[in-house]
C-alpha cells in the first residue's frame, strides 16, 4: 500500500472492481478497500467439499440484454449457458413458476386448459387498479387475489419482513407473468454463469486493474492515511453520512449450505426438481437453490443453499437489499441529495445508490460512471 493514489475505492464488489479495472486501463492508480475477507461482494461463490459450486450469499443468476455489459465481462470469463428454472412448493405441490399457462393448468386442475382459458380467468380475476401503488396492488391487478395469496403474499412477507402493501410495485413486478407455456424466470436475451465461477472472473478483473487491494479493512481506517484525488464509495449510503438522518432500512438473509453426499442424492442426480424452489408457506426459509442444475458440473453429490431472510443490523450482518417503498423513499432521497453534493466522491452500486439493481445494471452503471470520470479527468 502506498500513501498516495489517484482513486480510493471502497468496496470490492462488482462496481468497485469494474471501476478499478477501467481506471487502471488509463494508468490511474487505485487502492480498493474491502471490509470482508474476499472480493466479489455478494456475488461471491465457492466450491464445497465435493468441488461443487455454491453462491455464498444467495443465488446470483447473471442475465442481461446489454451487449456492452456482456462484451465487457466476456473479457474476463467464459460462460456456461444457463436456464434458470424456478418452482414454488406449497400445499404439498411443486408449481410451475413464474405464473404461466402450466401453473394455471395445475391450479384449475385442467391439464387441457388453453391460453384463452387462462386469459379469460385473468380478465375475471384481475382487480381493476389503474395505477398500482404497491406490490400487492401490482399483483392483484395482473393475476387477482387467488394467485396472489398462493404465490406472493407469504413469500413477500417472509422475504421483506413487511407486507406487500409496504413495498414498491416494482419489487413483485420483477417476476414476469406469462399467459403461454413460457417458464423462464427472466426474459433477458443472455442468461449464463461464469464457467469457472464468479470468483475467478473477479480475480481476473482485479488482476487486470493493477489496483492494490486491502481486505478486512474499513475505509474509515484508511481514508485519512491514504491521500487520493477521488473517492469511489459502494458501501451503504446512510453509513457514509453516519446515519445523520436516521438509518435506512435494509434486508439481509442467512444462507445455510447443505452438502449432500452420494447417498443422499436420488438416482436422477438432483435433490430438487429444478434450480430454485420458492417456499411461500410457514417455513422459516424462502428458497432453496441447487446450483448443480446450471453449472454444468457432473457429480453424484450435490448441495443446497437454504435462504433465511432476516432484518439487517449494522455490525452483525451485511445488508443485501435496499427496501423500496414509502418507508424509505423520502429518507433515501435526502441521502441521495447529500451524496450528489459531496465533493470528490462518487456513490455507486446497490448499497450506495440505495436501489434494487441487478448485476448487469451495476456493471452498466460502473462503465457509464467510468466514462464520466474519464471525461471530467478527475
**Sites of contact with ligand UDP (CB under 6 A):** 88, 97, 151-152, 155-156, 159, 171-172, 174-175, 278, 280
Q: Which is nearer to ligand UDP, 174 or 368 (CB)?
A: 174
Measured from the CB of residue 45, what is the shortest distance to ligand UDP in angstroms?
Answer: 15
Cα–Cα distance, 57 to 270 (Å, whole number): 21
Where would I find the H helices in 144-277? Answer: 145-147, 154-160, 169-172, 198-209, 219-222, 237-240
Q: Which is nearer to ligand UDP, 101 or 232 (CB)?
A: 101
Whether the link from the prior residue into 65 is cis, omega within 30° of 0, is: no
Helix (H) or strand (E) holding 122: helix 115-125
Interior angle at CA 347, CA 342 and CA 350, nearest 5: 145
Instruction: Say if CB 229 and CB 6 are below 8 A apart.
Output: yes
Q: Which is nearer to ligand UDP, 154 or 235 (CB)?
A: 154
Measured from the CB of residue 287, what is the shortest distance to ligand UDP in angstroms?
Answer: 8
Measured from the CB of residue 371, what is the shortest distance to ligand UDP in angstroms?
Answer: 28
Q: Which is nearer to ligand UDP, 156 or 191 (CB)?
A: 156
Q: Which is nearer to ligand UDP, 120 or 256 (CB)?
A: 256
Q: Which is nearer to ligand UDP, 246 or 273 (CB)?
A: 273
Measured from the CB of residue 243, what is the shortest distance to ligand UDP in angstroms?
Answer: 25
Measured from the CB of residue 106, what is the shortest distance to ligand UDP in angstroms?
Answer: 15
Measured from the CB of residue 286, what is the shortest distance to ligand UDP in angstroms?
Answer: 8
The string of DSSP letters for 330-352 reads HHHHHHHHHHHH-TTEEE-SHHH
Q: β-strands 53-55, 86-90: how paired?
A: unpaired
Cα–Cα distance, 94 to 287 (Å, whole number): 13
Amino acid at each position: 500500500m502506498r500513501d498516495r493514489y489517484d482513486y480510493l475505492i471502497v468496496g470490492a464488489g462488482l462496481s468497485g472492481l469494474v471501476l478499478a479495472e477501467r481506471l487502471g486501463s488509463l494508468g490511474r492508480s487505485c487502492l480498493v478497500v474491502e471490509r470482508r475477507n474476499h472480493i466479489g461482494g455478494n456475488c461471491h461463490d465457492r466450491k464445497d467439499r465435493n468441488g461443487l459450486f455454491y453462491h455464498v450469499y444467495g443465488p446470483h443468476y447473471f442475465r442481461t440484454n446489454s451487449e456492452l455489459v456482456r462484451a465487457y465481462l466476456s473479457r474476463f470469463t467464459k460462460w456456461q449457458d444457463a436456464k434458470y428454472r424456478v418452482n414454488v412448493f406449497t400445499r404439498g405441490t411443486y408449481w410451475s413458476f413464474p405464473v404461466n399457462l402450466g401453473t394455471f393448468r395445475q391450479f384449475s386442475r385442467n391439464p387441457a386448459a388453453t391460453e384463452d382459458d387462462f386469459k379469460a380467468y385473468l380478465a375475471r380475476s384481475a382487480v381493476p387498479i389503474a395505477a398500482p401503488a404497491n406490490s400487492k396492488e401490482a399483483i392483484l391487478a395482473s393475476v387477482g387475489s387467488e394467485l396472489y395469496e398462493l404465490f406472493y403474499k407469504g413469500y413477500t412477507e417472509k422475504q421483506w419482513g413487511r407486507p406487500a402493501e409496504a413495498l414498491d410495485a416494482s419489487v413483485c413486478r420483477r417476476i414476469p407473468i406469462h399467459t403461454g407455456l413460457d417458464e423462464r424466470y427472466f426474459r433477458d436475451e443472455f442468461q449464463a454463469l461464469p464457467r469457472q465461477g464468479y470468483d475467478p472472473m473477479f480475480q481476473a478483473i482485479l488482476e487486470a486493474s493493477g489496483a492494490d487491494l486491502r481486505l478486512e479493512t474499513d475505509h474509515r481506517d484508511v481514508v485519512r492515511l491514504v491521500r487520493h484525488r477521488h473517492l469511489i464509495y459502494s458501501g451503504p449510503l446512510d453509513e457514509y453520512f453516519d446515519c445523520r438522518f436516521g438509518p435506512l432500512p435494509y434486508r439481509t438473509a442467512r444462507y445455510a449450505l447443505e452438502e449432500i453426499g452420494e447417498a443422499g442424492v436420488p438416482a436422477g442426480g438432483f435433490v430438487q426438481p429444478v434450480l430454485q424452489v420458492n417456499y411461500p408457506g410457514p417455513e422459516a426459509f424462502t428458497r432453496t437453490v441447487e446450483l448443480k442444475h446450471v453449472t454444468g458440473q457432473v457429480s453424484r453429490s450435490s448441495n443446497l443453499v437454504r435462504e433465511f431472510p432476516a432484518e439487517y443490523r449494522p455490525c452483525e450482518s451485511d445488508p443485501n437489499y435496499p427496501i423500496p417503498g414509502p418507508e424509505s423513499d423520502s429518507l433515501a432521497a435526502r441521502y441521495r441529495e447529500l451524496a450528489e453534493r459531496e465533493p470528490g466522491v462518487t456513490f455507486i452500486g446497490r448499497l450506495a445508490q440505495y436501489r434494487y439493481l441487478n448485476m448487469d445494471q451495476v456493471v452498466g452503471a460502473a462503465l457509464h460512471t467510468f466514462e464520466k470520470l474519464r471525461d471530467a479527468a478527475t
